[in-house]
Amino acid sequence: MVGLTGFATGYGGLLLLIALAGVGVAAFHPLGYRLASQHSGARRGTATSVFSVGGLLGGAIGPLLATALVLRFDEPGTLGIAVPGLVVAGLIWWRVPRQQPVSLRRFGGGLAAPLRARLAPMSLLTLVVILRSAATVSLNTFIPLYYIDVVGESETTASRMLSLLLVSGAIGTLLGGPLSDRVGHLRVLATTLALMIPALLIFLNSQGIVAATALSLAGFFLVSSFAVTVVMAQDLWPENVSLASGMMVGFAFGVGGLVVPLIGLIAEHWGLLTALQMIVVFPVSAVALTILLAAAMRRLDRVGASAATGHGRRLT
C-alpha cells in the first residue's frame, strides 16, 4: 500500500493507503513477537531485539530509498518501495508452511500474582510506552522539517538526518535487549529514558557535528527499550502474550502517535524549535512514571510471592 502512495488522488486517498498499510502492520506484529519469545528460551530480550531491529532498519533505510526513487522517477517512483516487501512476502509464503507448527503453550515464567494485581504495573508500563512513542513519532515527523525550515539544509540532508536518527534507534534496540537480559528490563528502561533527555537538549542547543552526534544518541537511548517493554508486558500478562505484545507495539505506539498533531499546532503558532523543545516533556514524564512502575513491580513481587506460598501450602 505504501508503494501506491505516489498514485494517491488527493489527501484523502493518501490517508486511506497509509491506513490500510497500518492494518497490515498491526496484524503482523503481535503474533511475530509471540513467536520470537517462544523460540528464545531464557534470552527473550535478545530475541525480541533481533526481531524488532529488522523493522527499525527498514524504517531507517526507507526515507533514503523513497527520497531517491521520487527524485529520480517522480511520484511513480514510490512503486519501488513495494519491491522489498513483495520479495520478503514471497519468501515467507514459501518457507513458513514447511516449518513445524509452533506450540501455543502458556509461558511458564509468568508471574504468580492474580491478574487484578498486575493491572497497575501494566497500566503504568503502557503509559510509559505511550510517552516514549509520542517522543519517537514526533522526532521522526519533525526532524526533517526542522533541518529544512530552521537549519536551512536541503531535503537530501534532512532525509539523511532522519535516517541517522532511525539507524541509531535500531542499534539501540539491538543492544538494549541483550543488556536487559543481563542487568534487568526495568533498569534498562529507566536508564535509557533518563539519558535521552540531555541528549535531546544538547541537540536542540548545538549545530553541526555536535548536533548530529546528540541526535544520534537521542535516537539510540529513546528506542533502546523498545523490545524491553514488549518483554516486560509479556511477563506481566503471560496468559495473553500476543495481546500483551500488541498493547505495546500497537495500542501504546498508536496512541503516542496521536500527540503529533498537537506538536504540529505548537510548531504552527510558536515555531518548530519550540515544538521540538516541548518533546522533552515526554521522556521527563516517562522517567517519573518509571519510578512509579518500579514501586508497583516491587509490590507485585510481594503479592506473587505470597500467592505462590499460599498455593504451595494448599498443595501440601
pLDDT of residue 192: 96
Average pLDDT over residues 8-14: 75
- Amino acid found at 113: A
Q: What whole-number distance in Å separates Cα of residue 111 and Cα of residue 237?
A: 8
Q: Is the pTM of this model over 0.95?
A: no
pLDDT at 316: 35
Residue 293 has pLDDT above 90, yes or no: yes
> What pLDDT shows up at residue 101?
44
SS3 annotation, 262-273 = HHHHHHHHHCHH
**Residues 242 and 34: beta-carbon distance below 8 Å:** yes
Taking a C-beta distance cutoff of 8 angstroms, is the pair 162, 63 a contact? yes
- Tell me which H or E stretch contains 1: none
Please tell me the distance from the alpha carbon of residue 207 to that of residue 202, in angstroms, as a whole number: 9
Contact 130, 255 (CB under 8 A): yes
Secondary structure (3-state) at 316: coil
pLDDT, the chain, mean = 82
Phi, psi of 152 (to 5 degrees): 85, 25
Angstrom distance (rounded) from CA 121 to CA 244: 13
Torsion region of 111: left, alpha or beta (phi above 0 gives left; psi -120 to 50 gives alpha): beta
* Contact call for residues 180 and 45 (beta carbons, < 8 A): yes
Region at 9 (left for phi over 0; alpha for psi -120 to 50; beta for the rest): beta
Residue 225's nearest CA partner among 298, 140, 109, 129 is 129
Beta strands in 135-239 (DSSP E): none
The gap from C-alpha 142 to its chain's centroid, in whole angstroms, comes to: 17
User: What's the confidence (pLDDT) of residue 213?
Assistant: 95
Digit-coded pLDDT (tens) for 73-112:
777 777 887 787 788 778 777 765 554 444 434 444 445 5
The residue with cell 518501495 is: 81
Q: Which three cell numbers stand for residue 311?
A: 498455593
Eight-state DSSP code of residue 205:
T
Question: Which domain covers residue 181, as residue numbers?
Answer: 2-99+107-315
Tally of domains within the chain: 1
Domain with 28 in it: what CATH number? 1.20.1250.20
Residue type, 202: I
Residue 241: which pLDDT band, with cuts at 50, 70 and 90?
confident
Instruction: Return the ∠ at Cα 168 (arms to 162 and 170), rounded to 5°.
Output: 105
pLDDT at 83: 82
